[in-house]
Amino acid sequence: PDVDGNRLEDEERRKEQGEGWVWYGCPDEIETEFDLGDVLGRWKAHSPDRSDLRISEDAGHYLCDFIYFSSLAHLWKQQKHRRVVFLHVPSDASEEAVATGTELTIQLIRSIAESELEKRRSKGAQSAGEVVGESDKIAVELRV
């Protein structure tokens, strides 16, 4: 539920709408295609030592989970690469906390880019035809 106790009620909608349901045919769980272990290792290496950085299988509930799943499901349905991450940040809005959050976010983006570039430059990726191209993009949404 959200902070007001409201729920998405997706199970009810799935039953009512059948094949018309927005996520009809999608698996219950969809995972990102990023190498999260590699990204995390790089992120920790680029970030201050005291940073509490970790990978979670749980984006939260209600809106956070909906946004993350919707992004993955949209790409899954289109049979496109699922290069999606969801970043939770603390709610502390002090100047110091925002500066720290900004730096950690920049380092996460850097780590994702490095991980993807390394993967694409590897022999296996080149033989599969997936190399770094001019049209390659990394989309990031940051809400503070």
List the pLDDT tens digit at each of the 144 positions of the chain.
666 776 666 778 878 888 888 888 889 889 999 999 999 999 999 998 888 899 987 777 678 888 888 899 999 999 999 999 999 877 899 999 999 999 999 999 999 999 988 888 885 555 555 555 555 555 555 444
Model pTM score? 0.74
The length of the chain, given as a count of residues: 144
Question: pLDDT tens for residues 80-94?
Answer: 999 999 998 778 999
